[in-house]
A = this chain, B = another copy of it.
Amino acid sequence: MTKYVYLFKEGNANMRELLGGKGANLAEMTNLGLPVPQGFTVTTEACTRYYTDGKKIDDEIVEQIYAALAETEKIAGKKFGDEENPFLVSVRSGARASMPGMMDTILNLGLTDVSVKGLAKKTNNPHFAYDAYRRFIAMFSDVVMEIPKSKFEDVLDEFKEKKGVKFDRDLTADDLMAVVERFKAIYKEAMGVDFPQDPKVQLMEAVKAVFRSWDNPRAIYYRRMNDIPGDWGTAVNVQSMVFGNMGETSGTGVAFTRNPATGEKKLYGEYLLNAQGEDVVAGIRTPSPISELQNQMPDVYKQFVDIAGKLEAHYRDMQDMEYTIEEGKLYMLQTRNGKRTAAAALKIAVDLVDEGVLSEKEAVLKVEPKQLDSLLHPNFDAAALKAAPVIAKGLPASPGAGAGAIYFTADEAAKHGKNKEKVILVRKETTPEDIEGMDFSQAILTVFGGMTSHAAVVARGMGRAAVVGCGDLKINEEAKTVTVNGKTYHEGDMISVDGSTGNVYDGLIPTVEASISGDFARLMGWADAVRTLKVRTNADTPRDTKQAVKFGAEGIGLCRTEHMFFEASRIAAVREMILADTKEQREKALAKILPMQQGDFEAMYKALEGRPMTVRYLDPPLHEFVPHLDMEDEIAELAKNLGRTVEEVKAKITALHESNPMMGHRGCRLAVTYPEIAEMQTRAVMQAAINVRKECGYDIVPEIMIPLVGSKKELAFVKKIVVDTIEKIFAEQGTTMEYHIGTMIEIPRAAVTADEIAEEAEFFSFGTNDLTQMTFGFSRDDAGKFLDSYYENKIFESDPFARLDQDGVGKLVKMAAKLGRETRPNIKLGICGEHGGDPSTIEFCHNVGLNYVSCSPFRVPIARLAAAHAAIKAEGNK
């Protein structure tokens, strides 16, 4: 019989997959002898089974839960629903990977009309008992039964107004008893039945709600963003309640063993007296810093510092802990490796090495590659920042610079963000529903909440800049305005937010580039020492090239030559070439383009200072270079320049139209029909290389890449054009130079016939953007229309254009790598699609045995670190 339920004392930290992170750590803390309210964990397997059983909990599992409950009652010496000494529990989700705010929690479960009396009697505190009951009814109704929370809040507000008090806690026990009656009535009206008075029924409904919440849209979106498989499921933790809201000797809080924003080695956290955990996380009351606890409860503080030290040493990582003080007694409710900003991650990893806790390799694994992103993007220009008017100040919850147009709902922010607009999400406080809007924002700015509020935690996880608790802001959600110190900003107005200082500025402040130094540089050094995968960059300009080299790029993996064609000064010659009727006309136009393109390559070779560069020949369909048919002015000018009539030019443009341009006349197909284009590009590359070699002495070995190849003969045909041209240049210049000719593998046919293609190609570069399009048979431009349905229905768990589809597209990559090596054992293999900067794809590339990945300049450090992770993990798996 499968064991679906584990008491805390039966588990340990290594059982994370089965018990979830929270459950495994509660078990581990129990084993360490720490003060943990006891309870049990329903396993992730039970969740998976819930779904395969058609969303029901099998009797077998129910029985195991009841047995564990009985055991836990015995430990606590209390009984579920008892009118003398009632047993209450919290029910919380706990997945394998931490998913903050994604899953739902229910506190005070077990309260009924009977047991609330027992609680009042036992604690001698009816106010406390009925406060707990009203909280439980509201929470259960909201989370389990999906009755709108606002219905309950309205009643509470009504009571507070009637009584003329400000806070919930100022209501009397009698008030609360009346509130409870009203809450139960709301429940009955919404559900048609009475609020459940059997605690076991409450418990099973709560467990189901946790299971269900694994598949709510927020959770699905979070998993997609974080590459968490949908079939992992969540565990459920049922734990004896302890109460932080039993008066001024009680309280609850969260703390980190080091500062999660800076990494500073100093206990960091907050607490609220006379409160339950939800009050801290929701950010409604502003908590006190943990250092104050030293004054208020020195013993408890000392005990906590002790436990924190013990946990960090035990887990060898910075810990994020939740605790409750019940009438002066400390309880640990949770510990986990704390989320942290990229800067903190670097500092903590480096410090732990210096403290002798971690090896360098272990430290490298402590920093998530994706996280570096926040360090690599521009910060505010210091001079501009000095001159900028600070309009408000809040808590610096997540570092980084964000500037953009303000929006007041997550939906609006997401909508505009998707349109590539830079947006700032401005909210009173954020909730889990806001997650997509936060993801699409440059920065998040909230009125309420502390450093551990939802907005702060999530923004740090995402690497988004965030300023929270900025009380100067007066938001009018209906009018879509925010007023600060008398000035009103409307939706779409520009502000700048500095998550490192908490400052908010008027207007857009210019930004400057990031650089790698200090802890960052040390950790990257360790990463470079261990990785075997080379990291190149995709760059088409000397500026991008220099940026990438600064970030550690070891060469260019993809130089897209067509990008050089779009400049205003060049497009005329390019259009002349495209609209030519004869080879002669085309060659004349190409002769104008040659010196420009050669100059580009010379500048690139200089910027690379001897590093290699793979040049991809002209790839896009030609119509991308000509004006649209309805751009009358441009066409008229073009006709004039070319000495043609407008009708002739329009006819030419019409002839270039394609039904499916993605699968049209592009890539090497252009070189097959117009060999003179490939000849010109060959001259540009080779002559540039020869010139720069002469001028600077770099030992340049040009790499020429033919795109969109589908068969060996196609590559051979274009290669011959290239080689013949090179031989001519060598003869003309009386010199020679080593060079390599290879191809993109981006057409499924190329992947399955890679053994043949390798007879001609000296290297393969996997163009996984196109390969993904062709392998799935959908175009990136159109897939938006249906991909949302695919995510909603869990057909896709991640965007195949962001994260390589390893089962399908990856299978083709693997096959092509194997076939290519069979023909040419030393063939050089790389990847240059946008996947080249995605950590999970990089791990795949390492395991498949590619030689390098190539990604955008800003992702180069991420790729270096991800390559190191891949190497270390692969070593571990040996």
User: Once bound together, how far apart are the Cα atoms of A748 and B750, in whole Å?
Assistant: 12
User: Once bound together, how far apart are the Cα atoms of A786 and B667, in whole Å?
Assistant: 11
* A811–B752 touching, CB < 8 Å: yes
| Chain A 665-710 residues near chain B, CB threshold 8 A | 665, 669, 672-673, 708, 710
* A672–B789 touching, CB < 8 Å: yes
Question: Which residue, of A658, A746, A749, A794, has the highest number of chain B Cβ atoms within 10 A?
Answer: A749
Tell me whether A775 and B749 are in contact in the complex, defined as CB-CB below 8 angstroms, given that A663-B782, A782-B664 are known contacts: yes
Classify chain A: how many residues form its interface, as a range: 35 or more
Tell me whether A710 and B776 are in contact in the complex, defined as CB-CB below 8 angstroms, given that A717-B793, A786-B669 are known contacts: yes
- What chain B residues lie within 8 Å of A777 (beta carbons)? 663, 708, 710, 746-749, 770, 774
Q: Is A812 an interface residue (CB 8 A)?
A: yes
Tell me whether A713 and B770 are in contact in the complex, defined as CB-CB below 8 angstroms, given that A753-B808, A778-B664, A782-B665 are known contacts: no
Tell me whether A779 and B660 are in contact in the complex, defined as CB-CB below 8 angstroms, given that A665-B786, A669-B786, A711-B808 are known contacts: yes
Chain A, residues 375-386, CB within 8 Å of chain B (1/0): the string is 000000000000
Q: Is A662 an interface residue (CB 8 A)?
A: yes
Write the nearest CB–CB distance from A798 to chain B, whole angstroms: 12
Select one of B664, B785, B808 contacting A779, CB under 8 A.
B664
- What chain B residues lie within 8 Å of A794 (beta carbons)? 713
Question: Which residues of A line the B interface, CB within 8 A?
Answer: 658-665, 669, 672-673, 708, 710-711, 713-714, 717, 746-749, 752-753, 756, 770, 773-779, 781-783, 785-786, 789-790, 793-796, 805, 807-809, 811-812, 815
Select one of B661, B708, B752 contacting A812, CB under 8 A.
B752
- What chain B residues lie within 8 Å of A770 (beta carbons)? 777
Write the nearest CB–CB distance from A789 to chain B, whole angstroms: 5
- What chain B residues lie within 8 Å of A752 (beta carbons)? 775, 808, 811-812, 815
* A672–B774 touching, CB < 8 Å: no
- What chain B residues lie within 8 Å of A673 (beta carbons)? 785-786, 789
- What chain B residues lie within 8 Å of A747 (beta carbons)? 775-777
* A658–B774 touching, CB < 8 Å: no
* B660–A781 touching, CB < 8 Å: yes
* B662–A659 touching, CB < 8 Å: yes
* A812–B658 touching, CB < 8 Å: no
Select one of B672, B773, B795 contacting A663, CB under 8 A.
B773
* A711–B795 touching, CB < 8 Å: yes
* B781–A659 touching, CB < 8 Å: yes
- What chain B residues lie within 8 Å of A659 (beta carbons)? 661-662, 779, 781-782
User: Once bound together, how far apart are the Cα atoms of A770 and B748, in whole Å?
Assistant: 13
User: Once bound together, how far apart are the Cα atoms of A292 and B673, in whole Å?
Assistant: 56
Write the nearest CB–CB distance from A385 to chain B, whole angstroms: 42
Write the nearest CB–CB distance from A820 to chain B, whole angstroms: 15
* B795–A672 touching, CB < 8 Å: yes
> What residue in chain B is nearest A785 (Cβ atoms)?
B665
Tell me whether A808 and B710 are in contact in the complex, defined as CB-CB below 8 angstroms, given that A673-B786, A781-B660 are known contacts: yes
User: Once bound together, how far apart are the Cα atoms of A790 and B714, in whole Å?
Assistant: 8
Write the nearest CB–CB distance from A592 to chain B, whole angstroms: 24
Extra inter-chain contacts (6) besides given A659-B779, A749-B805, A774-B774, CB under 8 Å: A658-B782, A710-B776, A710-B778, A717-B793, A748-B812, A770-B777
Closest 5 CB pairs of A and B: A660-B779, A749-B808, A659-B781, A663-B779, A664-B782
User: Once bound together, how far apart are the Cα atoms of A665 and B815, in whole Å?
Assistant: 29
- What chain B residues lie within 8 Å of A812 (beta carbons)? 748, 752
User: Once bound together, how far apart are the Cα atoms of A661 and B778, in whole Å?
Assistant: 9
> What residue in chain B is nearest A772 (Cβ atoms)?
B749
* A658–B711 touching, CB < 8 Å: no
- What chain B residues lie within 8 Å of A660 (beta carbons)? 660-663, 779, 781-782
User: Once bound together, how far apart are the Cα atoms of A773 and B808, in whole Å?
Assistant: 18
- What chain B residues lie within 8 Å of A658 (beta carbons)? 779, 781-782, 785
* B808–A672 touching, CB < 8 Å: no
- What chain B residues lie within 8 Å of A808 (beta carbons)? 710-711, 748-749, 752-753
User: Once bound together, how far apart are the Cα atoms of A662 and B778, in whole Å?
Assistant: 8
- What chain B residues lie within 8 Å of A795 (beta carbons)? 672, 711, 713-714, 717
> What residue in chain B is nearest A753 (Cβ atoms)?
B808
Tell me whether A811 and B661 are in contact in the complex, defined as CB-CB below 8 angstroms, given that A672-B795, A747-B776 are known contacts: no
- What chain B residues lie within 8 Å of A781 (beta carbons)? 658-660
User: Once bound together, how far apart are the Cα atoms of A649 and B239, in whole Å?
Assistant: 58
Write the nearest CB–CB distance from A764 to chain B, whole angstroms: 16
- What chain B residues lie within 8 Å of A793 (beta carbons)? 672, 717
Write the nearest CB–CB distance from A220 to chain B, whole angstroms: 13
> What residue in chain B is nearest A810 (Cβ atoms)?
B752
- What chain B residues lie within 8 Å of A776 (beta carbons)? 710, 747, 749
Write the nearest CB–CB distance from A586 to chain B, whole angstroms: 14
Write the nearest CB–CB distance from A72 to chain B, whole angstroms: 39
* A811–B753 touching, CB < 8 Å: yes
User: Once bound together, how far apart are the Cα atoms of A786 and B807, in whole Å?
Assistant: 33
User: Once bound together, how far apart are the Cα atoms of A681 and B106, in whole Å?
Assistant: 45
> What residue in chain B is nearest A670 (Cβ atoms)?
B786
User: Once bound together, how far apart are the Cα atoms of A844 and B710, in whole Å?
Assistant: 21
- What chain B residues lie within 8 Å of A753 (beta carbons)? 807-808, 811
User: Once bound together, how far apart are the Cα atoms of A776 and B807, in whole Å?
Assistant: 20
> What residue in chain B is nearest A710 (Cβ atoms)?
B776
- What chain B residues lie within 8 Å of A785 (beta carbons)? 658, 664-665, 673
Write the nearest CB–CB distance from A238 to chain B, whole angstroms: 32
Pairs A–B under 8 Å by Cβ, sample size 6: A659-B661, A661-B782, A664-B782, A672-B790, A747-B775, A774-B775
User: Once bound together, how far apart are the Cα atoms of A473 and B770, in whole Å?
Assistant: 57
User: Once bound together, how far apart are the Cα atoms of A291 and B785, in whole Å?
Assistant: 74
> What residue in chain B is nearest A663 (Cβ atoms)?
B779
User: Once bound together, how far apart are the Cα atoms of A130 and B713, in whole Å?
Assistant: 48
Write the nearest CB–CB distance from A746 to chain B, whole angstroms: 8
Tell me whether A774 and B786 are in contact in the complex, defined as CB-CB below 8 angstroms, given that A672-B793, A808-B711, A811-B753 are known contacts: no
- What chain B residues lie within 8 Å of A805 (beta carbons)? 749
- What chain B residues lie within 8 Å of A708 (beta carbons)? 777
User: Once bound together, how far apart are the Cα atoms of A280 and B805, in whole Å?
Assistant: 65
